[in-house]
Amino acid sequence: MHRTGLAVAATLVATSFIAGSVPAAQTPQAPPLKSVLAGKTFTPPLKGEAAVEYAPPVTRREKDLVVTRITVRNASDAPIGRLTIGETWYDKAGAVLTGGKGTINGLLQPGEVQIVTIETPFKPGMNANNYIFSHANGTVKPARVPKLEMPKPTDAAAAKK
């Protein structure tokens, strides 16, 4: 028993001498870290209630789906993170039949216009629907406007595509 402890101690001492004799100059240097956002401006997403304008939805049946497209514009002063529109369909009696959800992944910048597509399974008896707007950091105050135009692509944006 006493010899085992002595062998372990001798191994530890020998290992520390070997590790201490390796010069530190041989270890490679890591390149300096650079900030990903260096020189860029970043506006954090809106927290709380966001203001959104939307045009009248366009709803069509496509095979076994009811597809609703809603054109939305950010009327807030800050970007909106992950804008989501939930759609619920009811029958004539007011019972819930089905629903769907459409999302804009990423940020909707102030003044930016995009289209949200909601796909809902078709069920016989679909009569009326409603929409629930939300975003990643709070609630949304939607305002219906008669018309929203998608911005015309510039020559530079068309060249990228």
The whole-angstrom separation of Cα 10 and Cα 125 is: 85
The CATH number assigned to the domain with range 50-146 reads 2.60.40.10
Q: Which residue has the tokens 């966001």?
A: 50
Give per-residue pLDDT as tens, 70-125.
999 999 999 999 999 999 999 999 999 999 999 999 999 999 999 999 999 999 99
Task: Note the pLDDT tens digit of each residue in 130-154.
Answer: 999 999 999 999 999 999 887 666 6
**pLDDT digit string, tens, across residues 19-68:** 555 555 577 888 888 887 777 887 889 999 999 999 999 999 999 999 99
Residue 126, Cβ neighbours under 10 Å: how many?
18
Listed by start position, the domains of the chain span 50-146
